[in-house]
Amino acid sequence: ETGVTQTPRHLVMGMTNKKSLKCEQHLGHNAMYWYKQSAKKPLELMFVYNFKEQTENNSVPSRFSPECPNSSHLFLHLHTLQPEDSALYLCASSQDTGGVTEAFFGQGTRLTVV
Amino acid sequence: RKEVEQDPGPFNVPEGATVAFNCTYSNSASQSFFWYRQDCRKEPKLLMSVYSSGNEDGRFTAQLNRASQYISLLIRDSKLSDSATYLCVVNINPDSWGKLQFGAGTQVVVTP
């Protein structure tokens, strides 16, 4: 139990579908992150939220749309994805965005785009 | 040059042996460093933070060499359960909001 939960754990979607990934943290942290992990590649930071405000968008295509309604919840809305978007999407949280404290990860959503 | 670079391995280690590997980082101003462990198809989990003076946690020892800009992880008396990918994590820009930069990982396979 990491204190960060993600749903769904697995998702298969067509290129014309719209779906959302959900992340919830129970750690009282102020910062939340979306990462993408493709096979044999490092984790790629996608978005950073600090106190509900987006502080970083790492040149992510607009077909990925994040939403952070409060410090405990983070969504990633997906639409018109491409097969190369298939990956493990990880949510993480940390006390702050200064990177001094460690980040805790959810179990991830394994996304397959067909 | 990659911001955080690791030897991908795999490091094949007999059970009970010692294995060590490094991670280099490019930004000399980096201030915080971590080792994470990631099992196959699972999320990364913090193994240990890396302190300037070096630190030890049971069979695991982490070192920081600021002059040469690398951190290291040493695993003594390897167990089969140590088989995993070890991710080096660096805060590469502590002056701004900061973000954790991940290496691609070093795979360790402990064999009976």
* Tens digits of residue pLDDT in B51-107: 888 899 999 999 999 999 999 999 999 999 999 999 999 987 655 545 678 899 999
Contacts of A7 in chain B (CB under 8 A): none
The chain A residue lying nearest B34, using CA atoms, is A102
3 state DSSP class of B38: strand
* Tens digits of residue pLDDT in A5-35: 999 999 999 999 999 999 999 999 988 999 9
pLDDT at residue B49 tops 80 = yes
Q: Which burial class, exposed, middle or buried, applies to A79 when counting CB atoms under 10 A from its CB (0-12, 13-18, 19+)? A: middle
Q: Which of B102, B37, B53 is nearest to A44 (CA)?
A: B102
% of chain A residues with pLDDT over 70? 95
pLDDT band at A100 (very low <50, low <70, confident <90, very high): low
Which of A43, A45, A93, A104 has the highest number of chain B CBs within 10 A, making it the mutation to test binding with B?
Answer: A43
Q: Read off the tokens for A14.
A: 């067509």
Q: Which of B79, B105, B112, B111 is nearest to B22 (CA)?
A: B105
- From A104's Cα to the closest Cα of chain B, the distance in A is 7
Of A42, A55, A99, the CB nearest to B103: A42
Q: Is the peptide bond before A61 cis (omega within 30 degrees of 0)?
A: no
8 Å CB contact of A107 and B42: yes
